[in-house]
Amino acid sequence: FRRVGTSVRRPRGLNQLSGMGTLWSQERPPEEGQSTEQSRWWAMARRLIMAVLLLGLLLGSSVLLFYIFRSCGPRPCERPMCWHLLDHYLASGNTSVAPCTDFFSFSCGKAKGTSNSFQALAEENKSRLRRILETPGSWHLGSGEEKAFQFYNSCMDTSAIEAAGAGPLRQVIEELGGWPISGNWTSLDFNRTLRLLMSQYGHFPFFRAYLGPHPHPPHTPVIQIDQPEFDIPLKQEQEQKIYAQIVREYLTYLNQLGTLLGGDPDKVQEHAFLSISITSQLFQFLRPLGQQQAQGKLFQLITIDQLQEMAPAIDWLSCLQATFTPMSLSPSQTIVVHDLDYLKDMSQLVEKQLLSHRDFLQSHMIFGLVGTLSPALDSKFQEAHRSLNQKLWELTERPPVPAHPRWMKCVEDTGDFFEPTLAALFVREAFSPSTRSAAMDLFTAIKDALITRLRRVPWMDEETRKKAQDRVTQLQVKMGGPEWAMEPALARQKYSDVHLGPSFLQSFLSGIRSRQARIVHSSLQPFLHHRWQVSPWRVNAYYSITDHVVVFPAGLLQPPFFHPAYPRAVNFGAAGSIMARELLHIFDQLLLPGGCPACDTHALEGALLCLERHYAAFPLYGVTSFNSSHTVLENAADMGALAMALQAYNKMLLWHRGETTLPNLGLTPQQLFFRSYAQVMCSKLSTQDSQDTHSPPTLRVHGPLSNIPAFARHFHCPRGALLNPSERCQLW
């Protein structure tokens, strides 16, 4: 029986089974009675729709994954600066050459024009200065900017210079007492003429006098007396035939100068020959730098009074006081003398000439002054000087002085005489705060790589390693321009001591005096910061031992070496390797014999020997003479710098995504890094200068690259290829 209000439930499965027959036997409603063919059609349609949806889902996922992976990988840099850099690389490289056997030609094989990448950049910086100076109305009236622009325009006004002819120069000669060859000469006191030449015209016919750092701490500026600079390319050991031809060409040049100034031809030739004779004798008094170093006489500290006793022909106190006004000098003033023996011999020669041929000494000084001032004179004087350079090049095979356009010489002179103004203008235009920030980030990455790398230098002892790391940590870095160049107000200095006109020569001479006064005045001021040795538009980085400062001028951190918009591979490979090289020069002393007594000298000597053998394995393309003993320190810096820059670049890739590469160049970021390093070294192949401390450009590319296993890996170089040797060196 059952309770009221309750029901008995059967299991669910039983109900379904018992009712199954009745369900399928009942007649279907009219709408369910469609034909089997129609049902099959609907089933196929459903399957097709599902397939289309599934295919769309797969395609959409693939596209999404493609864009995800594409955003993670290197993208082509489409900015204008990258396209300009691409054009530069395509114009200089020769990609038909196998990179594993001749990467220098691969990168630089079609480079034309200037002799090297640094010179090309220097000329581009001068072009930028030219654009600044030729922009009308971009200066403040009555300021130093306006005076600088006026000087530049006066230099470019060749019509006025040609119209003036030799007149302004004749006026200068009259102020010096005249010239014996013209028949109008007042025999003035020799030292009075010399004093005027040094102080008013910046000409030093018998020696050089300049302000340089004291050889001992605190390295304050001190007067230095050095050998003179000769316009004739004489050598200590020279064939008699070549010597006679050089003298003949120089005699022709001096005859031209005398004729242009209206001198009697016979007298001109006589005085020109005796002037060359004086130059030749002075040259014979010189001692090679190596001989001075061997004798421990690179410099000597003596007083002016002592120098007066040893070389009495020169009134040293009056000449130096006039040159370095407003310094207050006395006979007890200490100065630095280079090659004291030369000064003694020079004094004896001058005394001898004063007794017998005082007029020849006058002519010798005038000839030298005219040669110095020739760039500020009309085209006849400039052509005579250009012709002399061409003839001397043919005789001595020394590189000829390139014939630059007029605007380039005018930019250089304006920069020399108005450096504070042009420095501020150049830094403001070429080195923005964002550029400086990016350059500082790059330097920090390179410096960190050096500190890390010092931990693994095998030949260093722990104490030396710790001191080396501290040196790097304490290093100061200066970028762009000196502190005063960052102040816009300094660009508008008055330059009240610069007097322009009425002739360009007078403006030029006024600029010489103003520059000298500025140098002396700066040396007298207490200076808390490093004194820059280069102008901001130059391309010379350097390390100052005295201040423990590394300097990178704005002119160096420019395309094609550096730009914030470039792929990071370019900046690390080019500018980064330059920065690393300067940092390694801090430790040059350690690599010299006895420079690191506590180090593992056996391991160090082995690394240096390995380095020497490594560089000796490469052929010297087009270089007829090369002394590897002079390049050891630079080779070590080149090799270590590339390794440091690559280490810093690889670390950057771990922490920063979104690397780019140059479009249409076909190089991965790592390959672009090595290409950018080589691009810095692009240079014409020529005879190696015996005094050059760098290896030929091919070795500066192949030596470091072949020592980096990553280069061979990224360019797929077979084992045993020139740039994938079986042995490598570890110095830094």
- H or E segment at 476? strand 476-480
Query: What is the tally of structural domains in the chain?
Result: 2
In sequence order, the 6+-apart residues with CB closer than 8 A to the CB of 542 are: 533, 534, 550, 551, 582
Checking if the pLDDT of 297 tops 80, the result is: no
Checking if the pLDDT of 31 tops 50, the result is: no
**So what's the pLDDT on residue 69?**
41
The answer to whether position 412 is within a domain reads no
Residue whose C-alpha is closest to residue 198's, from 188, 209, 213: 209
User: 117-133 and 144-156 are packed helices; what angle lies between their axes, rounded to 10 degrees?
Assistant: 110
Q: What is the C-alpha to C-alpha distance for residues 548 and 530, in angstroms, rounded to an integer?
A: 9
The one catalytic residue in 249, 378, 638, 659 is: 638
* Of the ranges 8-17, 50-59, 77-86, the best mean pLDDT one: 77-86
Checking if the pLDDT of 16 tops 50, the result is: no
Q: For 119-159, write each residue's pLDDT tens digit.
A: 999 999 999 999 999 987 666 666 778 899 999 999 999 99
Q: Which of 171-185, 271-285, 470-484, 574-588 has the lowest mean pLDDT?
A: 171-185
Which residues form the domain of 494?
Answer: 82-125+420-714
Q: Are residues 376 and 466 in the same domain?
A: no
Distance spanning both ends of the chain, measured CA to CA: 103
Q: Which of 51-55, 552-556, 609-613 has the lowest mean pLDDT?
A: 51-55
**So what's the pLDDT on residue 180?**
84
Residue whose C-alpha is closest to residue 561's, from 680, 647, 671: 680
The answer to whether position 722 is within a domain reads no
Checking if the pLDDT of 112 tops 70, the result is: no
Tell me how far the alpha carbon of residue 528 is from its chain's centroid: 26
Angle at 112 between CA 110 and CA 113, to 5 degrees: 170
- CB neighbour class for 732 (10 Å; exposed up to 12, middle 13-18, buried from 19): buried
Query: CB of 668 within 8 A of CB of 589?
Result: no
Residue whose C-alpha is closest to residue 166's, from 410, 405, 505, 407: 505
| Domain's final residue, options 350, 367, 398 | 398
**So what's the pLDDT on residue 231?**
77
Residue whose C-alpha is closest to residue 343's, from 204, 222, 214: 204
**So what's the pLDDT on residue 468?**
96
The answer to whether position 13 is within a domain reads no
Instruction: List the beta bridge partners of residue 301.
Output: 336
Mean pLDDT over 59-74 rounds to 53
Residue whose C-alpha is closest to residue 550's, from 513, 582, 597, 589: 582
Q: Are residues 444 and 298 in the same domain?
A: no
The answer to whether position 48 is within a domain reads no
The Cβ of residue 519 has, within 10 Å, a number of other Cβ atoms equal to 13
pTM: 0.83
Residue whose C-alpha is closest to residue 200's, from 552, 601, 513, 527: 513
Q: Are residues 104 and 239 in the same domain?
A: no
Label the pairing between strands 549-553 and 542-544: antiparallel
Q: What is the C-alpha to C-alpha distance for residues 111 and 575, in angstroms, rounded to an integer?
A: 20
- CB neighbour class for 300 (10 Å; exposed up to 12, middle 13-18, buried from 19): middle
Instruction: List the beta bridge partners of residue 209.
Output: 225
In sequence order, the 6+-apart residues with CB closer than 8 A to the CB of 568 are: 649, 652, 656, 659, 660, 669
Q: What is the C-alpha to C-alpha distance for residues 31 and 12, in angstroms, rounded to an integer?
A: 29
Q: Are residues 394 and 427 in the same domain?
A: no
Please state whether the peptide bond connecting residue 288 to the residue before it is cis, i.e. omega within 30 degrees of 0: no
Token pair belonging to 501: 């006109």
Q: What is the C-alpha to C-alpha distance for residues 392 and 232, in angstroms, rounded to an integer?
A: 8
**Looking at residue 642, which CATH number applies to its domain?**
3.40.390.10
Q: What is the C-alpha to C-alpha distance for residues 519 and 339, in angstroms, rounded to an integer?
A: 24
* Of the ranges 28-32, 44-48, 68-72, the best mean pLDDT one: 44-48
Q: Are residues 393 and 498 in the same domain?
A: no
Token pair belonging to 11: 């299991």
Query: CB of 307 within 8 A of CB of 225?
Result: yes
pLDDT above 70 covers what percent of the chain? 83
Q: Are residues 383 and 471 in the same domain?
A: no
The answer to whether position 403 is within a domain reads no
Please state whether the peptide bond connecting residue 233 to the residue before it is cis, i.e. omega within 30 degrees of 0: no
Query: CB of 621 within 8 A of CB of 705?
Result: no
Q: Are residues 573 and 674 in the same domain?
A: yes
Q: What is the C-alpha to C-alpha distance for residues 695 and 525, in angstroms, rounded to an integer?
A: 40
Q: For 402-428, write each residue's pLDDT tens digit.
A: 678 999 999 999 999 999 889 988 999
Q: What is the C-alpha to C-alpha distance for residues 680 and 118, in angstroms, rounded to an integer?
A: 7
Q: Are residues 367 and 445 in the same domain?
A: no
Instruction: List the beta bridge partners of residue 336.
Output: 224, 301
Site of tokens 């470039």: 566
In sequence order, the 6+-apart residues with CB closer than 8 A to the CB of 496 are: none
Q: For 613-665, write each residue's pLDDT tens digit.
A: 999 888 876 665 566 667 889 999 999 999 999 999 999 998 877 889 999 99
Tell me how far the alpha carbon of residue 512 is from its chain's centroid: 25
Residue 582 bears catalytic tag: yes
Q: Are residues 424 and 394 in the same domain?
A: no
**So what's the pLDDT on residue 219?**
79
**Looking at residue 272, which CATH number applies to its domain?**
1.10.1380.10
The one catalytic residue in 413, 582, 634, 659 is: 582
Mean pLDDT over 39-43 rounds to 69
In sequence order, the 6+-apart residues with CB closer than 8 A to the CB of 545 are: none
Mean pLDDT over 355-362 rounds to 88
Checking if the pLDDT of 289 tops 70, the result is: no
**So what's the pLDDT on residue 7?**
41
The answer to whether position 730 is within a domain reads no
The answer to whether position 133 is within a domain reads no
Q: For 313-337, write each residue's pLDDT tens digit.
A: 999 999 999 999 999 999 999 999 9
- CB neighbour class for 515 (10 Å; exposed up to 12, middle 13-18, buried from 19): middle
Q: What is the C-alpha to C-alpha distance for residues 442 and 427, in angstroms, rounded to an integer?
A: 19
**So what's the pLDDT on residue 393?**
81
The answer to whether position 391 is within a domain reads yes
SS3 content of the chain, % helix, strand, coil (to 5): 60, 5, 35
3-state secondary structure at position 679: helix
pLDDT category of residue 703 using cuts at 50, 70 and 90: very high
The Cβ of residue 5 has, within 10 Å, a number of other Cβ atoms equal to 5
Mean pLDDT over 68-96 rounds to 84
pLDDT category of residue 547 using cuts at 50, 70 and 90: confident
Q: Are residues 121 and 173 in the same domain?
A: no
**So what's the pLDDT on residue 29?**
44
pLDDT above 90 covers what percent of the chain? 62
Mean pLDDT over 55-78 rounds to 62
Query: CB of 625 within 8 A of CB of 506?
Result: no
Checking if the pLDDT of 99 tops 90, the result is: yes
610-to-296, 297, 704, 730 alpha-carbon distances in Å: 31, 34, 13, 8
**So what's the pLDDT on residue 21?**
37
Checking if the pLDDT of 238 tops 70, the result is: no
Q: Are residues 388 and 424 in the same domain?
A: no
Query: Maximum distance among all alpha carbons in the chain?
Result: 161
Q: Are residues 644 and 516 in the same domain?
A: yes
Provide DSSP, 593-660.
TTS-TTS-HHHHHHHHHHHHHHHHTS--TT-S---GGGSHHHHHHHHHHHHHHHHHHHHHHHH----E
Any idea of the CA torsion for 18, 22, 24, 28, to the nearest 10 degrees? Answer: -150
Q: What is the C-alpha to C-alpha distance for residues 676 and 577, in angstroms, rounded to an integer?
A: 10
Q: For 363-395, write each residue's pLDDT tens digit.
A: 999 999 998 898 899 999 999 988 988 888 888
Q: What is the C-alpha to C-alpha distance for residues 203 and 176, in angstroms, rounded to an integer?
A: 13
Angle at 569 between CA 564 and CA 573, to 5 degrees: 100
In sequence order, the 6+-apart residues with CB closer than 8 A to the CB of 48 are: none
Q: What is the mean pLDDT of the chain?
A: 86
Residue 266 bears catalytic tag: no
**So what's the pLDDT on residue 113?**
54
